[in-house]
Structure formats: structure tokens, C-alpha cells
Structure 1
């Protein structure tokens, strides 16, 4: 007992300790993950250390959700470190595990990260991951992150000349942000959407709409961070270029002058300064103000050459070519036109397209035709590529939608399968309950019938006992009368005669006394006889044996069997419960029925004995016998076993084929 107690105590202590260790590790994982977010006070290497600790503990505890979170954290830190290999490794591992555990939040985040990564690398992949992320955030009702991803999608669509798609995506993103509280982050993404819409409408030459959205983006930037002159100048430059293209040159020059008023701009952002200077010079050119030209163009070109930003010089060279062509300085115009063509071939097909058109306008007829043909071919190629890209995006969307629809279909099928399974389980349960209830009702009905039969036997026993008691009473009355009228009268007469002869000693008197003494002996024998009859005819409990004898006689007569009934007089049946007697009665009845039905016997022996306060009943027949091990247990035998259990007894059946069967029952006296 003590050993068991100590083992139980040890097990409980171990379980408690294990739970404490698990809880401690969970707290540690959460602690390390929280520390990775502290960018102000922790170095990037320290944050990487914390993220790795969280990953190791998560793997040790085998908590998939925390492993995924650790992977995503590690991928973000490696992105900051510009370690693309590790960034992709942890993102793709997080993606696999998130799919496995169906973590929608993690899936959305990873797809968003991968979409952002591929934005400037592989447009198809970027669009694919962004599209999946947008749908996942939509399912999660996360409007903010959905809008962030929609901005990336809109920028990709604009880049691939799907302007209508980019416009619709931007409007959708803005409508999502409008539903949110106007925080700094919300304002930041609103200004990016407005700026993108300005670009789209500028390309479409819908200048009024472009100017409207550029102004809104500038207002949002002032609301977000008016001290960020870099972003404000970029937006103002976009607005100025739109004014220039819309032939509103005064507005364009005012915006550009505001930017150029910053005396530090040339030193802080020389590339941007050159770009703004070129736009300013081109606005002057278009407004027929040639006073500062071409010096401003040449100054901008010189700055670009000095800082090595060759790609910026394409547009400056094109503007110089236009300028010299307008003054019919064809050689200079050709020089800058060919230079823009040469540089644009390295960087941008759109710039190359404009350079080819410019050459077709500057060169002589045959050469001009050649460049115009190249312009047409390149333009057709770009249009074809744009269409192919739009189709590709549509296909990606379609395939993603198909996957989503398939997932929804699978979800619906699983739901229906669950519903059908529940219905089947409930139906099966109801059927089981109904069948069980029916069986219980049958069992109760059987028990009720059994009880009624037991009551019938009990009433029969009572009736038999009443008959015996009545016979007993009559017999006692007869004996009483006989004792009173016969024996007592004779005793009284003999006593008087002996009294009269008491004092007489004659030979005749002696002889007469001798006769009276013999008479007394005769009376003594009569009294013994009456006493013996009284003792043997009415032994206690003879009534139950009479009932058994009646049963056996009746059954064997019907079944055409001979019987021997032997009972131990030591069994006092009046002291045995009626329940035990009823079950014994029924067991004998069932045994006789089985002998008739299966044994084909001619003789049955029934024997009652009392051994150590246990009633031993043996029923033996000379029938066919059977293999006890192979025989099936029928209803009759089950009923016999049930009755034996009711009285805490035992039953044993032995049988030999062609010899006979013996049923031995032992029932303790309660």
C-alpha cells in the first residue's frame, strides 16, 4: 500500500514538474519572440539570436504554430540583413508548415512576404503570392493587410501596363482603408494609392484626374509627415510633370521652382536635382521660353554623368534632340537622339520606343522609314507582351480562384460528410435505443411472466401447505379424540379396577391384576403407535417435496419417463426461502423438459442432499449425451444459469455421448 502511494506521489510530482517545464518553455518562447520586435534597443544580430532561441525551443516542444512564428520572424530579420537565401529558406519552410497545420494567418503573412520579395525580381511570382495573400487576408477580414497587398498588386499591374486593372485594384484598396480608423499607417497607404492613381491617369492622358489624385497624395503626405521633404518633392515633381503634359506650363514651373528653391537639393539628391532640372528646362521649352536653354539640359546631363546615373540621361538626351530639331540643328539632334537610343537599349523598352520614334522624325526619308518600322515592330511587341502579361495575371487569378473554389467545395463536402455522419450516428443511436428498449421491454415482460409463474408456484405451495395444515389439524383432532375417547377411557377403567383390587391378595385378584397390567402394556403400545404416526406423517417441510413429487410425476408421465426421487430428510424446507424453492422447482422443470427434448432418455434420477449447509441437487438421465465443450448454450440453459445466480449457487453439467448427462446444482442455505 505504501509503495503504491509513493509511486502515485512520484508520478504526480513528475507530471507537475513536466507541466511546469512546458509552461516555462512557452513563456521563454514568447519572451524571445517579443524581444525580436524591439528594434530600438536591440541590434539586428541580437534579435537574430533571440529568434533562433525561439525556434529551437519551439522545435523541442513540437509546437507547430510557434515554429511557424519563429520561421516568419527569422525570415524578416534575414530580409533586413539582405540575406536572400536564408529569407527564402525560412519563408518556404513556414509556408509548408502553415499549410500542414492550416494556419491561415501565417499563410497570409508568408505569401505577403514572398510577394514583396519577388516584386522587383519575378513579376509572375510576385503577382501569384500577392494574389493568394490578398484572398487569405480577405477571408480573415483583415482589411489593413489586404489593402497593403492590393497596393503591391496595383503597382505590378501598372508596371505591366494593365492600367484598368491597376485603377480598379487601387480603388478597392482605398475603399478598404476608408473603413479603418485613420492612423498614420492608414494615411501612408492612402497617399501611395492616390499617387498610383495619379500615374495611371497621367499615362492615360486624363490629366484632370491625374492632377486631382496627385494633389490628394500631397495632402496626405503633409498629414502623415510634413517634415519628409524627399517624399513631398517626389510628389510635387509628379504633379509638375502632369501640369507640363497638360500644357499648364505656369503651374508646372511653379511646382518645379518650389522644389529647386531648396539650395541643398543638389548636394543631398543630385540625381533627383538633375531630373527636376530637366523637367524645368522641358517646361520652358514647351512654353517657348528658350532663354536658359540648352544650358539647363546640359547642366542636368553633366550632373548625371558625374554621379554615374546613365539611365536618367535617356530622357535628357531625348529632350536635347527635340530642342535642336526645333532649331533645325539636325546633326546635334541626331547626336542626342542616337545617344538616347543607345542608352535606352540597356534599360527600358519604353524609352527605346520613344527614341526610335524621335529618330524616325529626325532622320532622312529612307532611314526615317527604317526607324519607324522598328518603332512599329517594337510597339506591337510591347502591346503583345502587355496582353500576354494581362492574360497571365488573369490566368493566375483564375487558377487561384479555382483553387479557392475547390477548397470551398472540399469544405462543403466535408461539412456535408460531417452532417451525414452525424445524422447516421444519431439514427444509429436512436435505432440502438429503440432496439435496446424493445429488448428491455421483452426482458421485463419475460421477468414479469417469470414472476407471475413464481407467484403461481408460490400460491401452489401455499395451497399445498394449507392442505397439509388442514390434514394435520384433522389428524390431530382424530388423535386427540382417539386419545381422549379410547386410550384415556381404557386407562381410567383399568386404574379403577386396579384400585379395587389393590387391597386384595387372593390368587384370583393377582391374576386379574396381571391381566390389567397386560392391558396397560397394550395401551402403552397404542400410545407409542399414535406418537410414531404423529412424528412420521407430519415431518417439517414434507409439503415442498410433495410439490416436487407432483411435478416430477406429472412431467415424467407426459414425457413417458421412469423416475427415481430421493431426498435427504435433514433438509428443513420450511426454513429455506421461497425464492430458493421456486428457482429449484423451475430448474427441475427445465431439466426434465431438456431431457425430453434432447436426450431421448428412459430414466431420470433426482437426488437431494445436504452438505455443509448447501443443498446439492443432482439430475441424471441415461440419454444420448453430448459434447459439453461444443454444444451451444440455449435459452433453457441460460435461464437455469440466471436462476442459479439469483440464489448465489453454482451449476455443473457433465455428459458422455451414448451414456447420459448429469446436472449438479449447489444452492447455499441463506
Structure 2
């Protein structure tokens, strides 16, 4: 008893720890141990059934099929002990589903044995035989196989197949385990004697007595009741006094072991011996009614526990489904919001891209239009104005007016410069050569031009608009140098990075003051040109310290 008290203490500690850690497995174990305590120690089978059912639910949460199957197996055994054979059959069938999934061979065999016993009690002998054979076939335990074979042979007695029963008991008694499992050995001896007597009516008193002696020696009360009952039946038709003696012994042991079913069976046999004995009949009726009410009450309680549990599980499932539905709905709403937001962002990005594209197109069109205008002006200046001035110069040569002729020649030269500065630019394969020629042509004879990194630039990957802009800006710088700075050295360095092309210009000319810069539209035009293609133009100059400029354009 102290061991069971220690078990209760340990079990309570286990529950507290499991609840703190929210561990369904250990909570399930707690309820399982509690079920064992009520089943084996207190005898409160109703509480045991309840706690086994509770343990099953916790093991279901974590999908532990083996533990679920074992809990249901214990519940089925309790139902069977209270003659709830239909309920037990239903529960053990459910248990088998989980045990088979978990491949728990030992418990699968036990479940088949319980199922077979239910069929036996319901007089379904063929099914009982089938499931006992399954239990015998599947078990790995020789001891359990010994018990199942004993049960199978006993069914053959119920089924009036005495030869098969006797053969089964002989097999048991010839097994080496017979001397180790004395209870099962005594049972086999007693049942084999009973089968022999039922089939041939031969004298088997000594065999009955042999089995009884083993049971008395081992204090096997259930076995003693069976022996006393068989001896009473054996003497019933030839020695009623001896038969009554054995029945009385069966009644004493039944009451001693608190086994009302065995007492009822003994009273039933006693009524056959003394049919006019009213006190015995009354005791039989009262006990039968009491057992019936008790079994009915327990069956109802078992059914209620299972029904309430079913409703609870359905409610849990309903709540889970509602939660899942809500989560799905929330996910849908979130997805809709995400789609709406994404669509808005995409539309915004498309809008930004369209605006950017239109701006870039406008810039390109503006650059192209400027370039066309410059080219048209250049052509017109060259074809019309320059030619007209040239003709006037020829006419004036004959009139010998050198001063006027020099002025007109200067105008002609400037006109040709304007034409050249605004002439068309080849932006194709010849662009590098044309740019290089322009730089050289704008360099005075007494000025040194140094160009670095020119060949490192992949000119084919640069757009036509950028080429024209760069050409015009460098042309403006060279023009500024030629006309104003009187530089003796000009350095232009080309370099590139992943995103940019950089051009550094510097000369050692007179430079220019900030005030003077304000009047140099050419430099501001150059800056605006570079900004139009997304680049930058920075210049720095002081009087007598030369002129520097840094140009950056997107690569």
C-alpha cells in the first residue's frame, strides 16, 4: 500500500511539473497512472475509466498512437468487467486502430484477446475463436500465448467442440511453461477434466481434485471458485450432498473475494439441487437485480463519459475549425491588403517610371532639337552668310580698301567658327576620331594638349545624346581656352567606373574671376547641357591660376 501512496505522491508532482511546462505527454501520463491507481488499488472503476479517458485525450493532442491505444485498452477491460460487452467491443475496436498504427505488438495481442472475450460473452463463438487465434499468432510472449491458448480451448467447451478443447489443453500441459505458470496449469487440468466429463461422462474427480489442490496451494481464489463449481456439477446428478458441499465452498470463497457474479452462478446451481428452497431463490433474485442495476448504472456512466467526451471533442474541433476559418479569413484579408498595397506600389512605380520616361524623352527630344537647330544654323551660316561675306571680300579686293577688307575677313572667320561649332556630329563608330580631331583642331599651335584615358572608354555603349552633349561641352571648354585663357598646356583625362564616366579638364591659362564667369553664357550652357543628361559639371578658376572643370555623366 505504501508503494501506491508513493506512486500517488510522484504522480501529483508529475502533474504540477507537466502543467507548468504545458507538456501534454506528462499530463497524459499523470492521468494514466491515476487510472491505474483507481483500477487496481481503490477498485473505483468509474473513476479509473474517467482518468484513462482523460489521458487518451492528452495523448491524442500529440499524436501518440501507442499511448492512446493503451488508454482505450484499459477502458475496454473495465467495460468488460462490468458486462458492458457491446461498449467494450466498440472501445477495443477503436483501440486497435491506434495500436496497429503504433505497431505495439504486445498490446495488439491483448486487444484481440479482449475482443475475443467480448464475442464469447455475446455467444459469437466463431468470432471469439478467430480473434483468440489472432492474439496467439501475433504475440511475442510465450507466457501470453499460453494464456490465450487456454482461453481458446475454453471457448471450444462453450461451443461443444470437446475434442478440440481437450487437444488444446493437452498442448498446454505438454509445454515447458506449464510448470512455471501454475495458475494456468491448474486451469488447463481443471478445464480438460471438465471437457472430458461433458463429452464422455467418465470419472474425472481425481483430475478436478488435482487442479483444486494446486489452486489451494497458490491461494488462487478465482481458480478455487471454478474448481468448486465444476466439482458441484460433477456430483449434482449422483451425490447431491457432495454437490451441495462444493457449492457452499464456492459461495464462501465468492463472498470472501467479493465476487458477486461467482456467487450468483453458485446460487443458480444450488437452486437446481434445492428448487423449493425459497431463501436461496430470494437471495438469487436480490443478487441478480443488484448486479443488473449496478451494471446498468456503470454502463450508463461509461456511456455518459464517452458521450460527454465526444461532445467536448466535437466542440474543440468546432472551435479549431472556427479558428482556422478566422485565420484563413484574416490571411485572405491580409493577402487582399497586400495585393492592394502592392498594386498601389506597382501603379506608383509605373507612374514614376512613366514620368521619368517622359522626362527623359523630353530631355532627349530637347537635346536632339537643340542639336538640329545648331546644325541648321551652322549650315545656314556656312551656305548663305559665309558665302555672301566671301563674295564681298572678293569684290573689295579690286577696290583696294585693305582696312575694310580685314574687318570683313575677321567677320568671315568668326562666321566660319560659328558654323564649325554648330556643325553636325557623327555619333556612330567614327565618334572617337571626330572628338579627338575636334580637340586637336581647337588647340593653338603654341599650346600643348595632353589627353589620357581616351581609349579606355567604350564609346559604343554611350547614347547618341550623351555623345553630342559631351562633344559640345568639351568644344565650349576648348573654345574658352583658345579665345580667353592663353594657356600653354591643356590636360584632359578620361576615366570610368561602374556607373560614371568622368572627364577632368585643366589648363594653365589666365583663369577667370567669378564676376567674369557670370558673363560667360557658354559655361552655363555647358553646365545645363550636362544636367540635361543627368550628369554634373563643376568648374573652378582664379585669375592667373588656370581653369579646371570636372564633368561626370552616367555610364
TM range (shorter): 0.5 to 0.7
Number of positions where the alignment pairs a residue of Structure 1 with one of Structure 2:
434
CA deviations on 1:142-171 (whole Å, 9 max, x unpaired) are: xxx969965763563254135345545666
Cα 1:575–1:342 shift into 2, 3 Å: closer
Question: 2:85 maps to which residue?
Answer: 163
Closer, same or farther: CA 333–398 of 1 in aligned 2, 3 Å: same
Match of 1:442 among 342, 347, 355: 355
Once the two structures are overlaid, the 10-residue window that deviates more, 195-204 or 328-337, is: 328-337
In structure 2, relative to structure 1, the CA distance for the partners of 1:92 and 1:405 (3 Å cut) is farther
Structure 1 201/579 Cα, relative in aligned 2: closer, same or farther at 3 Å?
same
- Corresponding residue for residue 461 of structure 2: none
Corresponding residue to 2:368 among 432, 442, 455: 455
Q: Hey, what does 2:480 align to over in structure 1? A: none
Matches within 5 A, 1:15-54: none
Question: Deviations along 1:388-440, whole A, 9 cap, x unmatched?
Answer: 21332344345445545654665566566556655654565455434423432
1:388 is matched with which residue: 292, 297, 301?
301
CA drift of 1:339 comes to 1.6
CA contact (8 A) 2:389 2:412 kept: no
Report whether the alignment pairs 1:648 with 2:536: yes
Mapped contact 1:314–1:344 kept (Cα < 8 A) = no
Distance 1:112 1:97, change over 3 A: closer
Q: Offset at 1:485?
A: 0.7
Change (3 A) 1:278 1:615: farther
CA deviation after TM superposition for structure 1 residue 200, in Å: 1.7
SS of match in other structure, 1:160? helix
Question: Structure 2 vs 1, CA of residues 403 and 541 (structure 1 numbering), >3 Å: closer, same or farther?
Answer: farther
Instruction: Tell me, yes or no, if the aligned pair for 2:162 and 2:199 is still in contact at 8 Å.
Output: yes
Calculate the TM-score normalised by the size of structure 1. Answer: 0.49
CA distance in 1, matches of 2:401, 2:213: 167
Change (3 A) 1:282 1:402: farther
Map Cα deviations across residues 96-131 of structure 1 (whole Å, 9 max, x no partner).
Answer: 6888xxxxxxx7xx8998898677454444345456
Give matches, 1:60-139, under 5 Å.
Answer: 85=10, 120-121=36-37, 122-130=48-56
Runs of at least 5 residues in structure 1 that lack an aligned partner in the other structure:
1-81, 100-106, 138-144, 489-526, 548-573, 583-608, 620-639, 652-665
1:517-555 CA-to-partner distances (Å, cap 9, x unmatched) read: xxxxxxxxxx2x6646765897689979xx9xxxxxxxx
2:148 alignment counterpart: 235
Q: 2:185 aligns with which of 262, 270, 273?
A: 273
Matched, 1:487 2:405: no
Mapped pair 1:343 → 2:262: no
Deviation at 1:203, TM superposition (A): 0.8
1:211 aligns with 2:129: yes
Q: Distance in 1 between matches of 2:359 and 2:162?
A: 109
Match of 1:478 among 392, 396, 404: 392
Q: Whole-Å Cα distance in 1 between the matches of residues 267 and 518 of structure 2?
A: 123
Give distance in 2, aligned partners of 1:249 and 1:448.
107
Change (3 A) 1:579 1:367: farther
Q: For 2:367, what is the secondary structure of its paired residue?
A: helix
1:310: Cα distance to partner? Answer: 3.8
- Per-residue deviation at 1:385? 0.7
Q: TM-score, normalised by structure 2?
A: 0.57
Q: How does 1:124-523 map to 2 (within 5 A)?
A: 124-130=50-56, 150=69, 153=72, 156-161=75-80, 162-164=84-86, 166-167=88-89, 192=110, 194-215=112-133, 217-218=135-136, 220=137, 230-261=143-174, 265=178, 267-283=179-195, 289=201, 291-293=203-205, 296-297=207-208, 299-319=210-230, 327-329=239-241, 332=245, 335-345=248-258, 350-351=261-262, 354=265, 364-366=277-279, 368-370=281-283, 372-400=285-313, 402-404=315-317, 406-407=319-320, 410=323, 414=327, 421=334, 425=338, 428-430=341-343, 432-465=345-378, 470-487=384-401
Q: 1:325 to 1:453 in 2, by over 3 A?
A: same
Aligned partners of 1:337 and 1:359 also within 8 Å:
no
Deviations along 1:366-390, one digit per CA (max 9) or x if unpaired, are 4642553243123211222123213
Residues 166 and 375 (structure 1), Cα distance of their counterparts in 2 relative to 1, 3 Å cut: closer
Q: CA deviation at 1:648?
A: 0.8
Residue 204 of structure 1: CA displacement? 0.6
CA distance in 2 between partners of 1:131 and 1:397 (Å): 11
Q: Describe the shift of the 1:171–1:376 C-alpha distance in structure 2 as closer, same or farther (beyond 3 A).
A: closer
SS of the residue corresponding to residue 646 of structure 1 reads coil
381 and 358 in structure 1: CA distance in 2 versus 1, 3 angstrom threshold = farther
SS at match of 2:401: helix
**For the structure 1 residues 253 and 614, does the alpha-carbon distance in structure 2 shift closer, same or farther, using more than 3 Å as the test?**
farther
1:492 aligned residue: none
* Equivalent runs, 1:569-608 vs 2, <5 Å: 577-578=471-472
What is the rounded CA distance, in whole Å, between the counterparts of 2:124 and 2:36 in structure 1? 28
RMSD: 5.7
Q: Distance in 2 between matches of 1:263 and 1:531?
A: 143
**What are the Cα deviations for residues 611-636 of structure 1, in whole angstroms up to 9, with x where unaligned?**
489995599xxxxxxxxxxxxxxxxx
| Distance change >3 Å, CA 453–CA 337, structure 1 → 2 | same
Unaligned stretches of 5+ residues in structure 2: 1-6, 38-47, 423-467, 477-509, 521-527, 540-547
